[in-house]
């Protein structure tokens, strides 16, 4: 099936004075549009089922209700865009572990889990391909998963006040070499 030109893109090009968009230009959506069956209610907002389930597992592991941290005007500790979680601030909520389901938050751009009692991060953290900022300072981490290097969009990693081993320091060095800002 050939990619079709997005009509809105053609309209914008015409508004900008471009009279033609190359027919062979691939147009791919930035965020997949969810089907209605995949959307569920979360604090009065529709989000992806996998996002809701991941949030519930994260917060409930600390004895918290994620809906208590969401604000409809998107200025709370959980922010939603296009039915996906893009921002999650779970700082200081007494987390002792981060569930594997964190990897289900496909659109997550910023993750804050500082000032908890985390001793490790799950390998599935590497599934967060949209993640730009990761804050894990002031925990009890001794290592970083190798898959943290899979985070192609990562721009900042904040790991100060942990007990990281030499192996993790090598991972940090590699990330710095890729231009990631690392706060140790």
pLDDT number for residue 46: 92
Q: How many Å apart are CA 113 and CA 134, to the nearest integer?
A: 8
What domains lie within the chain, and their CATH numbers? Answer: 34-183 (3.80.10.10)
Please state the length of the chain.
Answer: 184
Residues forming a β-bridge with 156: 133, 181
Q: Are 175 and 184 in contact (CB under 8 A)?
A: no
Per-residue pLDDT of the chain (184 residues; tens, 9 = 90+): 344 455 555 555 555 444 444 455 444 444 455 455 689 999 889 999 999 999 999 999 999 999 998 888 877 899 999 999 999 999 999 999 999 999 999 999 999 999 999 999 999 999 999 999 999 999 999 999 999 999 999 999 999 999 998 889 999 999 999 899 998 8
């Amino acid at each position: 099936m050939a990619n079709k030109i997005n009509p809105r893109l053609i309209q914008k090009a015409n508004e900008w004075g471009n009279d033609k968009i190359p027919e062979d230009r691939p147009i791919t959506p930035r965020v997949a549009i969810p089907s209605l069956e995949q959307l569920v209610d979360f604090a009065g907002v529709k989000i992806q089922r996998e996002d809701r389930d991941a949030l519930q597992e994260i917060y409930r592991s600390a004895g918290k209700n994620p809906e208590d941290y969401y604000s409809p005007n998107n200025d709370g500790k959980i922010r939603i865009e296009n039915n996906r979680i893009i921002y999650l601030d779970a700082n200081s909520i007494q987390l002792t572990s981060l569930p594997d389901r964190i990897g289900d938050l496909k659109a997550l751009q910023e993750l804050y889990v500082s000032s908890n009692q985390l001793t490790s991060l799950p390998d599935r953290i590497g599934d967060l391909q949209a993640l730009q900022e990761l804050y894990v300072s002031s925990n009890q981490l001794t290592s970083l998963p190798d898959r943290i290097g899979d985070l192609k969009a990562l721009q900042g990693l904040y790991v100060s006040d942990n007990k990281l081993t030499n192996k993790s320091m090598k991972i940090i060095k590699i990330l710095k070499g890729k231009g990631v800002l690392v706060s140790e």
